A and B are shown apart, each in its own frame.
Chain A
Amino acid sequence: MAGVAVSTTINGDSVEYLCQPDETLLDVLRDRLGLTGAKEGCGTGDCGACSIILDDRLVCSCLVLGAEAEGRRVETIEGMAHGDKLHPLQQKFLEHAALQCGICTPGFLIAAKDLLAKNPDPTEEEIRFGLAGNLCRCTGYDKIVRAVQDAATVMKGA
């Protein structure tokens, strides 16, 4: 099968790649571009471990084709920190121990970033529903919710 040539922007950088027409964006990120921060937990859009932001919209990259990224902006976990300065969400996840095994963490951070971009002052319920597309099996979500609440407070003050 002939490859599709794609020009896109990933974490602010121009990127070009060839991919198969049936290849997911998740596979492109992980297998072609070496960006393994997004994880495949299910491949069916149920777990959110592969969450990325595509033109300001939170998506499961396992449900997007690599070819669909043409001309768009992709944000992944690898672009979340500024240089060596962590994003407040990343910092608060560490401080609150909002991760145990950490496999879901990149997806949660991306989803939480998207949530706070749209709703900078969410209630606990809004956080819980905002993150309901991401599965975590280790934490029971308690510390994740607290970390997002704390990060929201910090980000409002900034």
Chain B
Amino acid sequence: MNFDPRFSGRKFTSVGTRPIRPDGVDKVTGRARYGADFNMAGQLVGRVLRSPHAHAKIRKIDTSKAEKLPGVKAVITAADLPDLTDGDAAMYDILDNCMARTKALYDGHAVAAVAAVDARTARQALKLIVVDYEVLPHVTDVDEAMNHHAPLINDAIFTEGLEEKPVKPSNVTKRSQFGHGDVHQGFGHADFIVERSFKTEQTHQGYIEPHACVASVSSDGTADLWVCTQGHFVYRQHCAQLLGMEASKLRVTSSEIGGGFGGKTHVWAEPVALALSRKAGRPVKLVMTRDEVFRASGPTSATSIDIKIGARKDGTITAAEATLRYSCGPYAGSWAEIGAMTAFACYKLDNVKTVGYEVLVNRPKTAAYRAPSAPMAAFAVESAVDELAKEIGMDPVEFRIRNAAQEGTRSSYGPVYGPIGIGPTLEAAKSHPHMKAPLGPNQGRGMACGFWFNFGGQTCTDLNIGMDGSVSLAVGTVDVGGSRASLSLVAAEELGIAYEHVKAIVADTSSLGYNDMTDGSRGTFSSSMATISAARNAIKILRERAAQMWDIAVDDVVWEKGHAVAKGEKHGNLGKLSLKEIAAASGKTGGPIAGHSELVADGAGVSFATHICDIEVDPETGSTRVIRYTVVQDAGKAVHPTYVEGQYQGGAAQGIGWALNEEYIYGKDGRLQNPGFLDYRIPVCSDLPMIDTQILEIPNPNHPYGVRGVGETSIVPPLAAIANAVSNAAGVRMTHIPMSPPRILAAIEAERGG
């Protein structure tokens, strides 16, 4: 397949309009089916028993009483999920996380599961399972876990990436380093240096829909899984591997998904549901409670970050350095590495060095959360940048513009940038009316920049043209926020037909080739590329069919605005054939007309954003109010601008929650104290103002329409923008996220007292 992904600069008819999404009516009438909305005949209720201990050896599990309870059809432990990972360490960690094998590694770690005729029986059965734990010392804090005396979580872990091979095991799984130049020399040229340490607490993606699935394993070894996921093909692979099945025998259907933000990129309970169904010989529905979602899915890292930045009097940064420690939960990850790569990505730096440490703690496994790891690094860096601007006496926007990366700049993570949008977002922010709006008493304004890579990946799309000329588009990237609308627009654009004649669906794993997950802001980027390719393949066939109908050479037929047009003087009287006409005749010109595409969408453009916000701080209580919020972000090309705005607003809102309220609070006993929406408080409607958005379109040269991803970057700047606003309002630099009222009050009082 010869597909040219380069940006072509075409004029758009459908792309850039704002039609109603194809799945909309079902979602406003309650008809849309999410993870927990599906049922099968004879289905059992699955429930999971979870460790109450942060760290404990599992000596013995006695399930005999539970098995005898009437109505219980299966009880499983790790023994029912034998290790088939064949030395694949990453898969082994997934297996161990789904069902603890020898040790429970966090409060909430699954240790056994039951399937019973109803929820009440299942709950009773869990109480009858006796687990003999040997409680071990635990550690939940990222800095404490790095201490030499900290309890070891896995004594087979020796820090990777050190110059000398360590002789002792450690909770630090890996050290990574990025940068160029000589920071020591760079700091030597600085007139001003800011050096600060920052902390951010662990937060959860907070999707409103808990993980849910229905698993049905047949005695012939085939199985069906209905599940809310960001990547049903990946779930299929992981589940098949963990259960020893052939992937093609496991058909995974992705339900409508009630939010994911990275949290539904990993399997949690799905292999357990399949194992229960296999043992019980009946379908099993397994739905997590909210408590389980908080305790036992995958929140983001807690972090501890040191920043040092130096600049000359004229405002040029001479050197920048960061040390970043990210918690991974009890399994190795690469979260600090991403933080180390993204930390200074907005800036043009001759001397930069970042070092990341991946740290094991007795908390749930860290999973991706929207531009994973970048918001915390940006919080630390952008706070220090603001402080440095202040010391120099420069406007923080001017200071950033002066040091912003541009085309040709060597990025802090290595390669040299192509065309990028950091400068334009800063210029747009500078001239935005928000910047000049007056502030009231106790109000402060803050701004910050953010960067995210964006990814592409393996993508497969089918485009089928019906006999009536309407188009079915089957994609394999799960629609998390309106991508079916965007992809229908893209198909309509390429084919030259109306949006209303395209119906996009997300196909199951048996109906379409493999697709990577919807992650890395790739859904619209990748699947639009595959849709364009599939549509172009269909157009080739449409031209061939038109040529047959006219009995002329296919080379004389071109495709224009939804019609085959015969070119050349000798065909002057042929007129046009519409897609509909060609489709109607297809039965006699060679059969169905379709376009398929299998490709790797690579070259997703990096993306930048600048946010501005005004925060009011009550100096008596430390409470805050978001007065005004503005997002400026480069989209490359906004296919459906309303949903692009939605991504910007949603990311900002999540960032606001993270900055001001949300945090995992662990007790001394290592147990999560706030596993519910009452005590883990995400922003509600009355907490927020309207969120103003400005979409910039700096085309990505590696996509035919110039599309970059838009989903993630919007969560990168808010922590820092809000911290800068709060610091300006309160008159004291805030270094610990979330800036909850007690933390702000303590900072204000320390400043007054000091």
In the complex, A touching B (Cβ < 8 A): yes
Q: Are A101 and B29 in contact (CB under 8 A)?
A: no
Q: Are B258 and A101 in contact (CB under 8 A)?
A: yes
Tell me which residues from 5 to 45 in chain A have a Cβ below 8 Å from any Cβ of chain B.
Answer: 20, 22, 30-31, 35-44
Q: Are B32 and A139 in contact (CB under 8 A)?
A: no
**Given A46-B676, A103-B34, A137-B650; A97-B29 close (CB under 8 Å):** no
Cβ proximity bits A70-112 to B, threshold 8 Å, 1 near / 0 not: 0000001110110000100010011111011111111001000
Q: Are B682 and A42 in contact (CB under 8 A)?
A: no
Docked CA distance A93–B646 (Å): 13
Partner of B261, one of A102, A103, A137: A137
Q: Report how many A-B pairs have Cβ atoms within 8 Å.
A: 181
**Given A138-B481, A140-B688; A49-B677 close (CB under 8 Å):** no
Interface of chain A, main secondary structure: loop
Docked CA distance A38–B208 (Å): 12
Interface stretch of the complex, out of B17-25, B136-144, B411-419: B17-25
Docked CA distance A81–B643 (Å): 25
Docked CA distance A104–B207 (Å): 10
The smallest C-beta distance from A25 to any residue of chain B, in angstroms, reads 15
Q: Are B646 and A100 in contact (CB under 8 A)?
A: yes
Partner of B677, one of A31, A47, A144: A47
Q: Are A102 and B650 in contact (CB under 8 A)?
A: no
A154 within 8 A of B: no
Q: Are A140 and B258 in contact (CB under 8 A)?
A: no
Inter-chain contacts of A36 with B (CB < 8 A):
30, 33, 36-37
Which A residue's beta carbon lies closest to that of B289? A43
B723 within 8 A of A: no
Q: Are B686 and A129 in contact (CB under 8 A)?
A: yes
Q: Are B23 and A102 in contact (CB under 8 A)?
A: yes
**Given A42-B676, A137-B208, A142-B690; A99-B685 close (CB under 8 Å):** no
A135 within 8 A of B: yes
B649 within 8 A of A: yes
Q: Are B25 and A94 in contact (CB under 8 A)?
A: yes
Q: Are A40 and B690 in contact (CB under 8 A)?
A: no
Partner of A47, one of B23, B208, B649: B208
The tally of residues in A whose CB lies under 8 Å from a CB in B reads 60
The tally of residues in B whose CB lies under 8 Å from a CB in A reads 58
Tell me which residues from 1 to 47 in chain B have a Cβ below 8 Å from any Cβ of chain A.
Answer: 18, 20-21, 23-25, 27-34, 36-37, 39
Q: Are A77 and B29 in contact (CB under 8 A)?
A: yes
The smallest C-beta distance from B264 to any residue of chain A, in angstroms, reads 10
A134 within 8 A of B: yes
Inter-chain contacts of A134 with B (CB < 8 A):
684-685
**Given A37-B31, A138-B646, A140-B653; A103-B685 close (CB under 8 Å):** no
A67 within 8 A of B: no
Q: Are B677 and A135 in contact (CB under 8 A)?
A: yes
Inter-chain contacts of A143 with B (CB < 8 A):
642, 645-646, 649
Inter-chain contacts of B678 with A (CB < 8 A):
44, 46
Partner of B654, one of A20, A95, A101, A137: A137
The smallest C-beta distance from A31 to any residue of chain B, in angstroms, reads 8
Q: Are A20 and B120 in contact (CB under 8 A)?
A: yes
Tell me which residues from 227 to 283 in chain B have a Cβ below 8 Å from any Cβ of chain A.
Answer: 256-261
Partner of B650, one of A44, A100, A106: A100
Inter-chain contacts of B686 with A (CB < 8 A):
125, 128-129, 131-132
Q: Are B259 and A138 in contact (CB under 8 A)?
A: yes
Docked CA distance A31–B25 (Å): 23
Q: Are B685 and A141 in contact (CB under 8 A)?
A: yes
The smallest C-beta distance from A32 to any residue of chain B, in angstroms, reads 11
Partner of A39, one of B209, B482, B652, B676: B209
Which A residue's beta carbon lies closest to that of B688? A141
A127 within 8 A of B: yes
Cβ proximity bits A36-64 to B, threshold 8 Å, 1 near / 0 not: 11111111101101000000000000000
B424 within 8 A of A: no
A136 within 8 A of B: yes
**Given A41-B210, A132-B686, A141-B685; A86-B261 close (CB under 8 Å):** no
**Given A46-B677, A99-B24; A140-B684 close (CB under 8 Å):** no
**Given A101-B257, A142-B691; A37-B676 close (CB under 8 Å):** no
Inter-chain contacts of A116 with B (CB < 8 A):
none
A145 within 8 A of B: yes
Q: Are B28 and A93 in contact (CB under 8 A)?
A: yes
Inter-chain contacts of A97 with B (CB < 8 A):
18, 21, 482, 642-643, 646
Q: Are B27 and A102 in contact (CB under 8 A)?
A: yes
The smallest C-beta distance from B672 to any residue of chain A, in angstroms, reads 15
B290 within 8 A of A: yes
Q: Are B677 and A140 in contact (CB under 8 A)?
A: no
Q: Are A80 and B29 in contact (CB under 8 A)?
A: yes
Docked CA distance A122–B690 (Å): 16
Inter-chain contacts of B27 with A (CB < 8 A):
99, 102, 105
Docked CA distance A129–B289 (Å): 27
Inter-chain contacts of A78 with B (CB < 8 A):
29-30
Inter-chain contacts of A129 with B (CB < 8 A):
685-686
Chain A CB within 10 Å, residue with most, of B30, B33, B257:
B30
Which A residue's beta carbon lies closest to that of B18? A97
**Given A101-B481, A138-B259; A42-B290 close (CB under 8 Å):** yes
Inter-chain contacts of A100 with B (CB < 8 A):
259, 480-482, 643, 646-647, 650
Q: Are B682 and A137 in contact (CB under 8 A)?
A: yes
Docked CA distance A31–B645 (Å): 36
Q: Are A94 and B29 in contact (CB under 8 A)?
A: no
The smallest C-beta distance from B265 to any residue of chain A, in angstroms, reads 15
Residue pairs across A and B with Cβ atoms less than 8 A apart, 22 shown, are A1-B120, A36-B36, A39-B258, A41-B290, A44-B676, A94-B21, A94-B25, A99-B27, A100-B482, A100-B650, A101-B259, A103-B208, A103-B258, A131-B685, A131-B686, A132-B685, A133-B684, A138-B259, A138-B650, A140-B653, A140-B683, A140-B691
Other than A46-B290, A143-B645, give 9 A-B pairs with Cβ distance below 8 A.
A36-B30, A41-B258, A42-B290, A94-B24, A94-B28, A102-B27, A137-B653, A142-B649, A143-B649
Taking Cβ atoms with an 8 Å cutoff, the residues of B that contact A are: 18, 20-21, 23-25, 27-34, 36-37, 39, 120, 205-210, 256-261, 287, 289-290, 480-482, 642-643, 645-647, 649-650, 652-654, 676-678, 682-688, 690-691
Question: Closest 9 CB pairs between A and B?
Answer: A37-B30, A103-B258, A140-B653, A102-B27, A140-B649, A77-B30, A46-B677, A100-B481, A90-B28
Taking Cβ atoms with an 8 Å cutoff, the residues of A that contact B are: 1, 20, 22, 30-31, 35-44, 46-47, 49, 76-78, 80-81, 86, 90, 93-97, 99-106, 109, 124-125, 127-129, 131-146
